[in-house]
Structure 1
Amino acid sequence: MKEDNKKAIAPMVEDSWMPFRGRSFQNRVAYGMCLIAAICTLGLFILNSSTLDLSTLTSGSPKPVYGPQKMTPEEVREHLAVIDKGLHEYLNRSKPFTKFGLPVVGWDETRKQAIRRSTNSSSGVNPKTRIMLITSSHPKKCDNKQGDQMLLKSIKNKLDYCRIHGIELYYNMDKIDDEMLGWWVKTFLTHMLMKEHPEIDWFWWMDSDAIFTDMTFELPLHKYENYNMVMHGWDDAVYEKRSWLGLNAGVFLIRNCQWSMDLLHAWAPMSPKGKIRDDVGKFLSKALPDRGKGEADDQSGLVYLMITDRERWGSKVYLESSYYFQGYWKVLTEKFEDMMAKYKPGIYGDDRWPFVTHFCGCEFCCGAINPEYTVDRCLTQMERAVNFADNQVLERYGFIHKSLKSAEVESREAAKNRTAKASVAAKSKKAV
């Protein structure tokens, strides 16, 4: 990463332009999480980026509503319309996107018929909401010698959560397509599974470096009845600031419906690796004020679709910030012991007991770690997060880890006795 970008990113983390809602600490650290998460997703992009224009993100000057220059809503619409016209003309001139095949039509009716056949439901609606979690990892051996072990622990964590909550799991280790490597594989896998599993109601994408840290907490699906996609983020950051950091696409929930099929067909044409991805990146950088130079990424592409056609796409995307749909590991993992002493899982999902902890920036498999961290710190904290979650599983069987840093377990009774003895010894030492 260039030195000028390192200096530019630091004030962004501390910036206070984001209006806080609800639990102030949660929103403050969640924005920092979203920032770093997006930076880790675009590691290669940042390496080639130019200095970001931070004129709207500094807290010491008046803040315009739309981007680095004061633009009225009408000027913004005209600005985006010109960019969008250019992008569509470019994609139409390029090689047609055929990875998904022809656009799917009549999908909602197809799903109803499939559900009727599989459940004998006259309404074509599942009696119980069916969810499939999708995750993926590199097919080759990890560059980091401990990376493969971390991937194993990550998938074990997801298996445990899915087993407890009756969720299906699809784990990909295959090289799907040369042109859709990296960030974009999620669009291909999601589209593929939607078509093959019309009986599934929701598909839940989760990066391999995201860990469930509340094994009891359940998705509040009732909140999303009128929406087709859910991600961690903020409406004002996306629609007013047009920020590519306004949401994080590393974890998302998407409904199996016609709208989602249409979204994937609009989103994925930006993805083919090479000239198309490079050129589309230029359009995205023009549309999103805080995006530097670099090839098109999935997150910026999604933000772009939402701001250029909010009625069609944005109106059906729920940006969740009331709990940690995904939380930034750096502000959470050191507090696990305090959480265990004060709170219980299954209730909050926020900074008191985070639902999902995302180890963005660590890149424990490919080795391209964010220079802000060390490999040892990433591995140590991920081990703690995995064991923090595993305790919630083991306790059902009468066991617990001796410490969050250790794979060794003991009975809960032995742990209580050991804690009691340690407490007595501490009091005696204090008395002396």
Structure 2
Amino acid sequence: MRLRVQLQEQRRGKSILRSKMKEDNKKGLSSMGDDAWLLFRGRSFQSRVVRAMCLIAVVCTFGIVLLSLSTLDLSTLTIGSPRPVYGPQRMTSEELREHLASIDKGLQEFLSANKPFTKFGPPVVGWDETRKEAIRRSTNSSSGVNPKPRIMLITSSHPRKCENKQGDQMLLKSIKNKMDYCRIHGIEIYYNMDHIDEDMTSWWVKTFLTHMLMKEHPEIDWFWWMDSDAIFTDMSFQLPLHKYEKYNMVMHGWDEVVYEKRSWLGLNAGVFLLRNCQWSMDMLHAWAPMSPRGKIRDGAGKFLTKALPDRGDSEADDQSGLVYLMVTDRERWGSKVFLESSYYFQGYWKVLTEKFEDMMEKYQPGKYGDDRWPFVTHFCGCEFCCGAINPEYTVDRCLTQMERAVNFADNQVIGRYGFIHKMLKSAEVEPKDAAKNRTEKASVVAKSKKAV
């Protein structure tokens, strides 16, 4: 009986102790705040909280994505949509046309506000008919068409002496190289050393000379401009004129780089072929007004920089001006320009000249025109006469590699008479038989040394 009473008292005491602990816990938790109390609500409640937080995060992320997409051109995300236009901002084709039209309007207003361009005289009209009549009279042909296209090569150099004697020597070798090619292929040549105009200096002289000669020689079908630092390195290769029947101008370049990237480096205006026709007359009249140095050339350069994203802040140059015409009015100008990249209408000397010996060993001239045996090698950036050389090169390197290029080409000329240069870097020549024997002896010695 006593034992039963003790057990009941113990149970009653434990019950009282538990009740007191619960009251103490509630008081303590209430002092921690409602947020802390949620942590002790049980595992199922915590799971619901985590799921709710995840849902909120997903909704927020989706909202951010929608906000970002609202600023994009959704047409670029669809399958088969046109490639985006390169530039400071990605624009649709319509936006790009409006952008370029606005720039061109500003340029034309700027040019009109200044002294009108009169270097060429009044615009030539009816030139195609004038040419046909001139050709008919000169050939006594009722058809008015020459049996073979006539080409005139035009080149020019400074009327003053170069800053160094080697520069003058290279100009002499350069014109000799061009005369050799023209003589072999029956092409006429015009070499200018006159001071044409005070304003149309530097690169722009090509527009004046070409326009002048087109009017003076209506019987010529194509005018071929070549900078003085461009060298023929395949003396047998001939222009594939059949490729250009539907075009009026040919240059080395790439359509994508010009029209999509609007890059002023998408072509090279140092070598170009221009048909003698009304379109070419009109194009020269649209191109040359940017040329007068000073206020006009500086101001025009600002508009060219706005239209061509990769162009720096500088005065208007001939190459940028031509790219500008092509991208602002592709239908009128660009549609008649053939950008040639299947062979080196002009090739960059830095990637070609050190491979000449390998070309001579593996290939032959007259077949390729590309990096296996380049048609024309252009020493752009060297400026061996005026001295304003690209800082990437040295004068010695430019002169050495140009000497090699000239002799590489000359081997193809004097080789017809049984001679060859002893080395590409030397003007000294020797009979081809002697060179062959020397090469064979050197090969035998090399093999014997290798065997030992």
| Amino acid in the other structure paired with 2:426 | S
Match of 2:95 among 75, 81, 93: 75
Q: Which amino acid aligns with 1:387?
A: N
Per-residue CA deviations over 1:65-117 (Å, capped at 9, x if unaligned) read: 33121111111000001111111111111111110000000100110011111
Q: For 2:181, what is the secondary structure of its paired residue?
A: helix
CA distance in 2, matches of 1:423, 1:430: 11
2:385 is aligned, of 365, 374, 390, to 365
| Match for residue 217 of structure 1 among 231, 234, 237 | 237
Please say if 1:414 is aligned against 2:439.
no
Q: CA deviation at 1:145?
A: 2.5
Aligned-residue RMSD, C-alpha: 0.8
Is the 1:213–1:355 Cα contact (8 Å) retained in structure 2? yes
Task: Determine whether 1:203 maps to 2:218.
Answer: no
Out of 91, 100, 105, which is 1:85 matched to? 105
SS in 1 for 2:165: coil
Structure 1 Cα separation of the partners of residues 156 and 181 of structure 2: 16
Shift of 1:347: 0.3
Cross-structure match for 1:176: 196
Q: Measure, in 1, the Cα distance between the counterparts of 2:152 and 2:346.
A: 18
Query: Hey, what's the Cα distance between the residues in 1 that align with 2:164 and 2:432?
Result: 34
How does 1:116-135 map onto structure 2 within 5 Å? 116-135=136-155
1:307 aligns with 2:327: yes
Q: Which residue of 1 aligns with 2:77?
A: none
Aligned counterparts of 2:433 and 2:225: Cα–Cα separation in 1: 38
Q: Give, in whole Å, the separation in 2 of the partners of 1:102 and 1:138.
A: 28
Paired residues for 1:342-353 under 5 Å: 342-353=362-373
Q: How does 1:99-110 map to 2 (within 5 A)?
A: 99-110=119-130
Give the AA of the match of 1:133: L
Task: Specify every segment of 5 or more residues in structure 1 that has no aligned partner in the other structure, as ranges.
Answer: 1-62
> Which of 137, 145, 159 does residue 165 from structure 2 map onto?
145
How many Å apart are 1:431 and its aligned residue? 1.4
Give SS of 1:203's match.
Answer: strand
The answer to whether the aligner puts 1:241 opposite 2:261 as a matched pair is yes
In structure 1, the partner of 2:61 is none
The aligned counterpart of 1:427 is 447
Amino acid at match of 2:416: R
Higher relative contact order (Cα pairs below 8 Å, separated by 6+ residues): 1
Tell me the SS of whatever aligns to 2:292: coil
| Pairs aligned (count) | 370
The letter for the 2-side match of 1:397 is Y
Correspondence 1:270 to 2:277: no
1:259 counterpart = 2:279: yes
Higher gyration radius (CA) = 2
What residue identity is the alignment partner of 1:111?
R
Matched-pair contact (CA < 8 Å) for 1:66–1:72: no
Residue number among 293, 307, 310 corresponding to 2:313 in the alignment: 293
CA contact (8 A) 1:324 1:356 kept: yes
Letter in 1 for 2:131: R
**What displacement does 1:294 show?**
0.7
Give, in angstroms, the shift of residue 368 of structure 1.
Answer: 1.1
- Following superposition, the deviation at residue 121 of structure 1 comes to 1.9
Query: What is the rounded CA distance, in whole Å, between the counterparts of 2:435 and 2:338 in structure 1?
Result: 42
User: TM-score of the superposition, structure 1-length normalised?
Assistant: 0.85
Choose between structure 1 and 2: higher helix proportion. 2
Partner of 1:136: 156
SS of equivalent to 1:178: coil
- Cα contact 1:210–1:358 (8 A) shared by 2: yes
Q: One-letter code of the match for 2:255?
A: D
Q: TM-score, normalised by structure 2?
A: 0.81
- Displacement, 1:118? 1.0
Task: Please give the secondary structure, in 2, of the residue aligned with 1:134.
Answer: strand
Partner of residue 299 from structure 2, selected from 247, 261, 279? 279
C-alpha distance in structure 2 between counterparts of 1:388 and 1:158, whole Å: 14
Find the partner of 1:318 among 327, 335, 338: 338
Q: Which whole-Å CA distance do the structure 2 matches of 1:332 and 1:256 have between them?
A: 32
How big is the shift at 1:428? Answer: 1.2
Match of 2:425 among 405, 410, 424: 405
Worse-superposed segment, 81-90 or 387-396: 81-90
Are residue 230 (structure 1) and residue 250 (structure 2) matched?
yes
**Deviating runs (4+, > 3 A) in structure 1?**
none
The one-letter amino acid paired with 1:348 is: Y
Secondary structure of the 1:279 match is helix
